[in-house]
Chains A and B, each alone.
Chain A
Amino acid sequence: MRLVSTFLAASAAALLGSAAFAQEEALSLDDRVNAVFSDVTGPYVSFIFMPFPGTDFPWIVMWLVVAATIFTIYFGFVQFRFFGHAIALVKGDYSDPNDAGEVSHFQALATALSGTVGLGNIAGVAVAIGIGGPGATFWMIVAGLLGMASKFTECTLGVKYRNEYPDGTVSGGPMYYMQKGFDELGLPGGRILAILFAVFCILGALGGGNMFQANQAHAQISGIVGDYPGVITGLVFAGVVFAVIVGGIKSIAHVTEKIVPFMGLLYVGAALIVLIANYDMIGAAFGQIFAGAFTGLGVAGGLVGALIQGFRRAAFSNEAGVGSAAIAHSAVRTNEPITEGFVSLLEPLIDTVVICTMTALVITISGQLITDPETGRFVLDEAGAAIRTIGDTSGVALTSAAFATAIWWFPYVLALAVVLFAFSTMISWSYYGLKAWTYLFGEGRTSELTFKVIFCIFTVIGAAASLGPVIDFSDAMIFSMAVVNIFALYFLMKLVKRELDSYSDRLRGGQIRRFKA
């Protein structure tokens, strides 16, 4: 995410830089904000994204991947053992028909996915492949598969420890399981962790889940229609977001929520068309992916470079371990919290293993990455930091160019998809931020309205300005959520294990009723 944000912030800066004099004042304001913000937040941002000495492997990525590995082993490879059961749950095979009208497992999964599937799958993967080569895909898939166990852990706890209010509404998420779970185990510090998480979540929602999205949406739109002030995009987006989250204009949200899955399917469908059109190159592409995973095929950093980029992209894309999904999944009404954990483990699979891999395959077989015909190795740019591409594209532009090799008009659809994904992610994160806000300041109309108005103001700021350090800081906040969340999960995972063992026994014993044959 940080790589993408840096790339897009740079793009937006370039766009704004060429704008008219009227924008120069805004730029100078940006510069001032940047300077102040960098001084205050720079050390913290550097700490979060700090690489291990002698490498450029950020410790935060290792933190996420190690946790995912530990959860995978601790729960006995739950993502593989219960994969079929997760599908059956989503299909509604275990749903009591008398509970119809409540949030279904499918709906909770779709809502959570609309918050994660988006720009990272399109732009982020292109950045990873551009730097780490096709081999990054292999490590991305590995990290996605491991991340399924992290989602399982946090979402089970999210449902188990949510708050249910007398009026029938619910609030859930890491804040609640940290506080209640630690109390249940007699451990101190749960409330402190919860407050810390909530603060990070609010800042992450305003930044990565809002400003960053608005910023990228503006970059996309201006790329199609030509340069124009970002404040216009910001105001339009803020107006629509305001109408949805404050005005309760559900029809807009409904349209988006319907179009986004359609766009997701369209994206995967288009990727399959590109793959079928180049079916003779699929074998070679997989060859490059496997060879690149272990040798690097001459990319910057070799094997380690591919591994870093793959892990990094997966961790940043599917948000496994960040805790955001636990908020989204906690609305399901079930007597078995663990069933929502099973369903949630499909999220990294769809987001990373399927959609990110599709992007990676399309880029790999499209021939956009330039190779030396004599050695077969990738040609690096002058700085030796990334693979040279036809037309010197990277990020969204690289993905777009790769699709255009088979479907010339797809870049237009892709631009629309990026904007819709951005909007959908903003709606999701407005909710995550709201839940963290109400945890800190209490539920209530005034409290909620305050956060929602602040959220809309930040939408305008995000689209209008190229506030690189602010966006870096908000990315850092999202990964700070992961630091606190995973720390808590290590203490709470025994509670999930208890649930898993009990449920497994009852499932085997036939006590878990299947309603559909």
Chain B
Amino acid sequence: MTVKLVVGLDGQASGERALAHAQHLAELIGDCELIVTYVIEWSPYSFQTAEENAQRHRRREEEIATATERLVDPAVAKLRAAGLTARGLVRHGDVADTLNRIAGEEGVEQIIVARMSEGGFVQRVFGSSTSNLVMSAVVPVTVVA
């Protein structure tokens, strides 16, 4: 049976480290599919102007296209070039919730993310996306240093 792993990208060097670790794991496992995921942080409870609302669908499409083109597709191409099975996903939402949901929907064995570089006040109050994911995960999570 094919083992599925979700890799969370963050658009930074830390995400690259997570990707490299996932690649290593996939090579060890053999029959493995990597789901390379980038989550665009988005809250349905944020406040917007009417004009922003009217343009929201277009912006969403643009955000997905940009993330796919710049982050996800190159990562998937790199994995495929290494002879691995991989596909990409771009979603909007809370990072921890979304990775968890994808893990549940896809039936993955493990989520691999990097230790996020964010810090300061926000992290102290709300915790990082990584720590939130670890606290709420439905499958094992590997946090790459």
Q: How far is the CA of A98 from the CA of B102 in the complex (A)?
A: 10
Point out the residue from A100, A112, A171, A427 that lies within 8 Å of B92, measured CB to CB: A100
Flag whether B101 is at the interface (Cβ < 8 A): yes
Q: How far is the CA of A260 from the CA of B47 in the complex (A)?
A: 10
Query: What residues on B are CB-neighbors of A114 within 8 Å?
Result: 47
Point out the residue from B42, B49, B55 that lies within 8 Å of A101, measured CB to CB: B42
Query: What residues on A are CB-neighbors of B44 within 8 Å?
Result: 92, 95, 100, 104, 106-107
Contact of B47 with A261 in the complex, beta carbons under 8 Å: yes
Flag whether B115 is at the interface (Cβ < 8 A): no
Contact of B42 with A110 in the complex, beta carbons under 8 Å: no
Flag whether A327 is at the interface (Cβ < 8 A): yes
Query: What residues on B are CB-neighbors of A432 within 8 Å?
Result: 50
Given A95-B44, A100-B98, do A331 and B54 touch, yes or no (CB 8 Å)?
Answer: yes
Given A100-B42, A100-B93, A168-B58, do A245 and B53 touch, yes or no (CB 8 Å)?
Answer: no
Point out the residue from A97, A115, A257, A327 that lies within 8 Å of B48, measured CB to CB: A257
Contact of B53 with A427 in the complex, beta carbons under 8 Å: no
Query: What residues on B are CB-neighbors of A250 within 8 Å?
Result: 49, 52
Q: How far is the CA of A428 from the CA of B69 in the complex (A)?
A: 35
Query: What residues on A are CB-neighbors of B92 within 8 Å?
Result: 100-101
Contact of B47 with A101 in the complex, beta carbons under 8 Å: no
Flag whether B70 is at the interface (Cβ < 8 A): no
Flag whether A32 is at the interface (Cβ < 8 A): no
Given A97-B93, A97-B101, A108-B53, do A103 and B48 touch, yes or no (CB 8 Å)?
Answer: yes
Contact of A104 with B54 in the complex, beta carbons under 8 Å: no
- What is the chain B residue whose CB lies nearest that of A171? B54
Please tell me the size bucket of the interface on A: 35 or more
Query: What residues on B are CB-neighbors of A333 within 8 Å?
Result: 56-57
Contact of A257 with B56 in the complex, beta carbons under 8 Å: no
Q: How far is the CA of A111 from the CA of B46 in the complex (A)?
A: 10
Flag whether A372 is at the interface (Cβ < 8 A): no
Contact of A169 with B54 in the complex, beta carbons under 8 Å: yes
Point out the residue from A95, A98, A101, A331 that lies within 8 Å of B50, measured CB to CB: A331
Could you mark each residue 57-75 of chain B with 1 if its beta carbon is under 8 Å from any beta carbon of chain A, else 0?
A: 1101101100000000000
Flag whether B121 is at the interface (Cβ < 8 A): no
Query: What residues on A are CB-neighbors of B52 within 8 Å?
Result: 250, 253
Flag whether B126 is at the interface (Cβ < 8 A): no
Contact of B98 with A431 in the complex, beta carbons under 8 Å: no
Contact of A431 with B49 in the complex, beta carbons under 8 Å: yes
Flag whether B21 is at the interface (Cβ < 8 A): no
Given A97-B93, A100-B42, do A111 and B48 touch, yes or no (CB 8 Å)?
Answer: yes
Number of A-B residue pairs at CB separation under 8 A: 96
Could you mark each residue 95-137 of chain B with 1 if its beta carbon is under 8 Å from any beta carbon of chain A, else 0?
A: 0001001000000000000000000000000000000000000
Contact of B93 with A245 in the complex, beta carbons under 8 Å: no
Return A420 CB to nearest CB of chain B, in Å: 13
Contact of B61 with A427 in the complex, beta carbons under 8 Å: no
Return B59 CB to nearest CB of chain A, in Å: 8
Contact of A107 with B48 in the complex, beta carbons under 8 Å: yes
- What is the chain B residue whose CB lies nearest that of A248? B51
Q: How far is the CA of A100 from the CA of B44 in the complex (A)?
A: 7
Could you mark each residue 152-173 of chain A with 1 if its beta carbon is under 8 Å from any beta carbon of chain B, else 0?
A: 0000000000000001111100
Q: How far is the CA of A245 from the CA of B93 in the complex (A)?
A: 27
Q: How far is the CA of A333 from the CA of B45 in the complex (A)?
A: 15
Q: How far is the CA of A97 from the CA of B54 in the complex (A)?
A: 20
Q: How far is the CA of A250 from the CA of B55 in the complex (A)?
A: 13
Return B48 CB to nearest CB of chain A, in Å: 5
Query: What residues on A are CB-neighbors of B144 within 8 Å?
Result: none
Contact of B49 with A257 in the complex, beta carbons under 8 Å: yes
Could you mark each residue 409-437 of chain A with 1 if its beta carbon is under 8 Å from any beta carbon of chain B, else 0?
A: 00000000000000000011001101000
Query: What residues on A are CB-neighbors of B49 within 8 Å?
Result: 111, 244, 250, 253, 257, 427-428, 431
Given A100-B42, A100-B92, do A169 and B57 touch, yes or no (CB 8 Å)?
Answer: yes
Q: How far is the CA of A106 from the CA of B53 in the complex (A)?
A: 11
Flag whether A513 is at the interface (Cβ < 8 A): no
Flag whether B91 is at the interface (Cβ < 8 A): yes
Flag whether A254 is at the interface (Cβ < 8 A): yes
Given A100-B92, A102-B60, do A170 and B54 touch, yes or no (CB 8 Å)?
Answer: yes
Flag whether B20 is at the interface (Cβ < 8 A): no
Contact of A257 with B47 in the complex, beta carbons under 8 Å: yes
Query: What residues on B are CB-neighbors of A111 within 8 Å?
Result: 47-50, 53
Query: What residues on B are CB-neighbors of A102 within 8 Å?
Result: 56-57, 60
Q: How far is the CA of A101 from the CA of B61 in the complex (A)?
A: 9
Q: How far is the CA of A102 from the CA of B54 in the complex (A)?
A: 10
Most A CB contacts (10 A, CB to CB) among B53, B63, B64, B91 go to B53
Flag whether B143 is at the interface (Cβ < 8 A): no
Contact of A428 with B57 in the complex, beta carbons under 8 Å: no
- What is the chain B residue whose CB lies nearest that of A162? B54
Show 25 residue pairs from A and B whose CB-CB distance is below 8 angstroms, ordered by the A residue: A92-B44, A98-B91, A100-B91, A102-B56, A104-B45, A107-B45, A107-B47, A107-B48, A111-B50, A111-B53, A114-B47, A168-B57, A170-B57, A245-B51, A250-B49, A250-B52, A257-B47, A258-B47, A260-B47, A261-B47, A328-B53, A331-B53, A333-B57, A427-B49, A431-B49
- A residues within 8 Å of B by Cβ? 92, 95, 97-98, 100-104, 106-108, 110-112, 114-115, 167-171, 244-245, 250, 253-254, 257-258, 260-261, 327-328, 331-333, 427-428, 431-432, 434
Known: A100-B93, A111-B53, A250-B49. 16 other contacts (CB 8 A): A100-B44, A101-B64, A101-B92, A104-B44, A108-B53, A110-B48, A111-B49, A115-B50, A168-B61, A170-B57, A254-B47, A254-B48, A328-B53, A331-B50, A431-B49, A434-B51
